[in-house]
Amino acid sequence: MSMDLKVYTLNEVKAMPLDVVYKHALHDLNDIAKQKIRNHKYCTTPHMRLFYRKRYYLRNDIYHPEYNPDGTIEKRYKRTK
């Protein structure tokens, strides 16, 4: 899943057809709605925090002694000595 994000200038947006602008605006509004759902009170419970932390380490293949002991990327600067 590669995301190529292009930053548009105001002149480029004004030159776009309105249906393209509406499509991009709808996509952004859907992203905001999804973000509100993720930030809901249920998602901040300890159980869900643990779920999201574990998912982060597994998805990015980062080593963590508890969440992902098989991870290949080791971030040593985050460890205590």
Sign of the alpha-carbon dihedral angle for 59, 60, 61, 62:
negative
Residue 59 confidence (pLDDT) above 80: yes
Residue 8 lies in a domain: no
Taking only the tens place, the pLDDT of each residue in 1-50 is 445 677 889 999 999 999 999 999 999 999 999 888 877 777 778 888 88
Our CA angle for 40, 26, 41, nearest 5°, is 0
Cα-Cα end-to-end distance for the chain = 36
Q: Does any domain span residue 69?
A: yes
Domain count, the chain: 1
Residue 6 lies in a domain: no
- Residue 32 resides in a domain: no
Domain that holds residue 75: 44-81
The residue among 76 and 81 whose pLDDT is bigger is 76
Answer with the residue of higher pLDDT: 53 or 79: 53
Say what the alpha-carbon torsion angle 29, 31, 34, 38 is, to the nearest 10 degrees: -130
- Asked whether residue 58 is domain-assigned, the answer is yes
